[in-house]
């Protein structure tokens, strides 16, 4: 992604970052921000200047002062957002108490669609293949038991079951 910088911006942002990022971070920490939030706001300060360069009046004056002003304003914006959405620290055990074990409605709808597609795919199978699959997968019979039930060899029973799995997989993943 290429970021356009206004031609009027003659500041060396890399040099400003190396010289003043630590000071901006410390300033934000003194304002009560956590180390992580202060680091994010410091980085956002420089990103903001890259994305939206200052007007020519600010360029002609004090770049360090401008950096601190942007950082301060970003901090104020962050505090306003935090006031609107208060955060609550919860232990991992507390999360389990508020989690709903029921699946989300979209998950239910998706799973129902897949189940219908699976049922349709099973119905499309040839009779012997479908029977082998149902005995093995749904009845829980071993390959040897399926082979005995259908009067086939174990390897042929496995070939039928594998064909069923492949057919269902193709149908579920979109022809």
Give the CATH number for residue 133: 1.10.10.10
pTM strictly above 0.85: no
Same domain, 79 and 120: no
Does residue 120 share a domain with residue 78? Answer: no
* Owning domain of residue 144: 115-172
77 with 125, same domain: the answer is no
Helical packing angle, 154-172 and 143-150, nearest 10°: 100
User: 22 and 76, same structural domain?
Assistant: yes
Claim to verify: residue 29 and residue 78 sit in the same structural domain: yes
Of the three residues 84, 101, 129, the one that is the final residue of a domain is 84
Residue 104 lies in a domain: no
What does DSSP assign to residue 54? P
Looking at the domain assignment, is residue 137 inside a domain?
Answer: yes
Q: Hey, is 96 helix, strand or coil?
A: helix
Distance CA(42)–CA(97), nearest Å, equals 36
How many domains are contained in the chain?
Answer: 2
Instruction: Report the alpha-carbon distance of residue 33 to residue 75 in Å, rounded.
Output: 8
Structure tokens at 166: 């492949």
Whether 101 maps to a domain, the answer reads no
Distances, alpha carbon 46 to alpha carbons 40, 139, 145, 155, in Å: 10, 64, 70, 66
Whether residue 107 lies inside any domain: the answer is no
Does the residue 131 lie in any domain?
yes
Q: Per residue of the chain (175 residues), what is the pLDDT tens digit?
A: 455 544 455 677 788 889 889 999 999 999 999 999 999 999 999 899 888 877 765 555 688 888 899 999 999 999 998 888 877 777 878 877 777 788 889 999 999 999 999 999 999 999 999 999 999 999 999 999 999 999 999 999 999 999 999 999 999 887 5
Same domain membership, residue 17 and residue 56: yes
Q: Is residue 92 part of a domain?
A: no
Judge whether 76 and 31 are in contact, CB under 8 Å.
Answer: no
Residue 33 · residue 15 · CB < 8 Å: no
Give yes or no: residues 78 and 124 share one domain. no
On whether both 22 and 80 belong to a single domain, the answer is yes
């Amino acid at each position: 992604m290429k970021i356009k910088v206004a031609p009027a911006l003659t500041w060396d942002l890399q040099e400003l970052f190396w010289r003043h990022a630590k000071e901006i971070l410390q300033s934000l920490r003194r304002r009560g921000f956590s180390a992580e939030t202060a680091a994010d706001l410091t980085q956002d300060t420089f990103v903001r200047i890259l994305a939206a360069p200052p007007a020519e009046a600010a360029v002609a004056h004090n770049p360090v002062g401008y950096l601190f002003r942007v950082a301060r304003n970003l901090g104020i914006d962050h505090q306003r957002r935090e006031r609107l959405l208060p955060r609550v620290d919860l232990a991992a055990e507390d999360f389990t108490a508020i989690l709903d074990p029921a699946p989300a409605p979209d998950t239910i709808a998706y799973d129902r669609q897949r189940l219908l597609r699976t049922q349709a795919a099973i119905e499309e199978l040839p009779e012997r293949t479908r029977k082998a699959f149902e005995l093995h997968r749904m009845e829980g019979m071993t390959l040897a038991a399926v082979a005995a039930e259908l009067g086939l060899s174990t390897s042929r029973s496995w070939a039928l079951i594998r064909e069923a799995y492949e057919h269902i997989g193709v149908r579920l993943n979109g022809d």
